[in-house]
Amino acid sequence: MARQSISFTKLNDEWLKSQVDSNEYSSKSELVNDLIRQARKQQRQIDWISAKLEKAENSGFTNDSKEQILAKSKSLLNG
């Protein structure tokens, strides 16, 4: 595992210490690694949503009514 030296603001360091002191994590390193994993997962979700939105935007617009769109959606869900 790569070893790093990083600095924290006083408030962030106090928060990290409180998490370790509450036995939620065994060390600041474990906590920071978990936060990074969570951020990476969140970024993957954001990227997925962005890709879906971009695909939808590029697919064009429809002149269908709300009712027609709903009916098509339901038929796709029901097979």
In a domain, 40, yes or no: yes
What whole-number distance in Å separates Cα of residue 36 and Cα of residue 38? Answer: 5
The answer to whether the predicted template modeling score (pTM) of the entire model surpasses 0.75 is: no
What whole-number distance in Å separates Cα of residue 69 and Cα of residue 56? Answer: 14
In a domain, 1, yes or no: no
Q: How many domains does the chain have?
A: 1
- Range of 63's domain? 10-78
Digit-coded pLDDT (tens) for 1-43: 889 899 999 999 999 999 999 999 999 999 999 999 999 999 9
In a domain, 39, yes or no: yes
Confidence of residue 75 (pLDDT cuts 50, 70, 90): very high
In a domain, 2, yes or no: no
- Whether 79 shows a pLDDT value over 80: the answer reads no
In a domain, 62, yes or no: yes
Q: How many residues does the chain have?
A: 79
- Whether 61 shows a pLDDT value over 90: the answer reads no
Q: How many Cβ atoms are within 10 Å of 19's Cβ, its own excluded?
A: 17
For the residues 57-67, what does the mean pLDDT come to?
90
From the list 19, 14, 56, the residue with the least C-alpha distance to 34 is 19
